[in-house]
Structure 1
Amino acid sequence: MAIPTIQSYPMPGPADLPAGKVAWRPDPERAVLLIHDMQEYFLDFFDVSREPIPELIANLRRVRERCAALGIPVVFTAQPAEQTPEQRGLLTDMWGHGLKTRPHRQPVIAELAPAPGDVVLVKWRYSAFQRSDLRQRMLDWDRDQLIIGGVYAHIGCMMTAADAFMGDVKPFLVADALADFSAENHATALTWVAQRCGVVTTTASLLDDLGEPRATVVDPGSLAAGAAHPPAGPADVLADVAQALGVPVADIGLDDNLLDHGIDSIRIMSLVERWRRVGAEVTFVELADSPTVGAWWALLATRIGHTRDA
């Protein structure tokens, strides 16, 4: 049996959440975010232009950006295109050959592409804990909460939540950051997790519970105050970055990897907020994916109507 073609259905909202049994709340000092199987292959079975997919992607991006800004580790699962019969095991009997039939669709979707510093786990079975080092990583990070979003809710996401619970990790299933074969399957996953092993929440409630990033040595207020106009060229971007890092402009080259200069998620989010305030709609993921001043100016120029300097 292959994965079926999936019909559109409305994303569940707050009124659709099942009653829970525990009152756990996510803690940014204890949580890990798991983005589950958001590969092109698995979304191909949906009409991605119709619900629940646009809302799924938008909500996962919001959760991912907040987690990155708070220093919460971000972990992806991704099934490999090449699997031997022994590696695939009983999955072949249940689902056929899977990604092997469309190996070019293996990547995580572009809207959620892993950023530098994110962890990508090879996914072998329904649960992200099976045949992976996720549990050991969480122990090493001293974290015991797992925020889960992605596809498919009633298979890998639900099984990962159950496995987390059995390892004394508190799972948080984000109801409107999931998708499934049907509204009924989606609801089944939410009800089972809420009643048996975890907390079911919404994106808005999760972000409220996690809170906003706290100020560090960089004062986001001072960054914002200095931004009266959008950057007019790479020199302005360089000045903004130097201010965020607290270093002289001369210390940074246009093509330097800013990770080597100490840029971190909180500083990146401060710059995102600064540039958004002056009309440049950029995201944390876009900046984190290409951490150089030159690349950032190339991106900003497309958002504020400039042409990149030669």
Structure 2
Amino acid sequence: MEKSVLLLMDLQERMMENVEGSATLLQHVRIALDGARKAGIPVIFVQLGFEEGYPEVGEKNKAFAGLKPSGFFLPSDTKRAIVKEIAPLPGETVICKKRYSAFAGSSLEVILRAMQADRLVMSGVSTSGIVLSTFLAAADMDFNMTVLQDCCLDRDPEMHQFLFEKIYSRRGLVQNAADWVKSL
């Protein structure tokens, strides 16, 4: 029997600020989260985070070098936390990544292999960032994948739609949270 793991990615307070549709997104994520917990499916929360001084970020890194003056995503950043609406329960795994992909600079692959996971069920912000990077890396690692369309959000709605129509649906299973929970 296939073993699934629900990945809730970059659903941090700072990431969700000023993102149109975040309240609706969190309602759908809550459906998936509650369903996974009820079905005994492990949940892994993935968050972006850096050490004080950003030693992981070189000047050549266009995506994250600009963060250095901000202090964002450091241990002292109170908005680095997972949003309270879906906060991890004691004993649920929270990993910290260093780049777009949930696998980059984290222990995610080791944890998934230890769990003997076969299928990754993905949710996150943004569809064209962490979800895409993690999806492609997971495909190269031979995981089966489900992407919960109503549990992903992107600042560019056209990009969101394109990725679901042209990438995710061709290499994985696309579902909404309610349908995924019904299938458990």
> Same fold by TM (over 0.5)?
yes
State the SS of the aligned residue for 1:125. Answer: coil
Runs of 4+ in 1 over 4 A off after TM superposition: none
CA contact (8 A) 1:174 1:201 kept: yes
Partner of 1:97: 67
Partner of 2:18: 45
Pairs aligned (count): 178
What are the Cα deviations for residues 34-82 of structure 1, in whole angstroms up to 9, with x where unaligned? Answer: 00000010111325xxxx2222101111111111111111001112254
> Which structure has the highest helix share of the two?
1
Structure 2 spans left out of the alignment, 5+ residues: none
Partner of 2:169: 194
State the SS of the aligned residue for 1:131. Answer: coil
> Which structure has the highest strand share of the two?
2
Q: Does 1:31 align with 2:4?
A: yes
Aligned match of 1:107 in 69, 81, 92?
81
Q: Does 1:69 align with 2:38?
A: yes
Aligned match of 2:128 in 154, 165, 183?
154
- Provide the aligned C-alpha RMSD in A: 2.1
Distance 2:58 2:179 in 1: 39
TM-aligned CA distance change 1:170 to 1:125, over 3 Å: same
Distance 2:172 2:82 in 1: 26
Distance 2:27 2:113 in 1: 30
* Higher radius of gyration, 1 or 2: 1
The one-letter code sitting in structure 1 at the alignment partner of 2:23 is P
Distance 1:83 1:202 in 2: 38
State the SS of the aligned residue for 1:174. Answer: strand
- How many percent of aligned residue pairs carry the same amino acid? 26
- Report 1 or 2 for greater relative contact order, CA contacts < 8 Å, sequence distance ≥ 6: 2
TM-score (norm 1): 0.53
TM-aligned CA distance change 1:173 to 1:94, over 3 Å: same
State the SS of the aligned residue for 2:98. Answer: coil
Aligned ranges for residues 223-234 of structure 1 at < 5 Å?
none
Distance 2:56 2:178 in 1: 39
TM-aligned CA distance change 1:87 to 1:169, over 3 Å: same
Distance 2:67 2:93 in 1: 26
Structure 1 spans left out of the alignment, 5+ residues: 1-26, 211-310
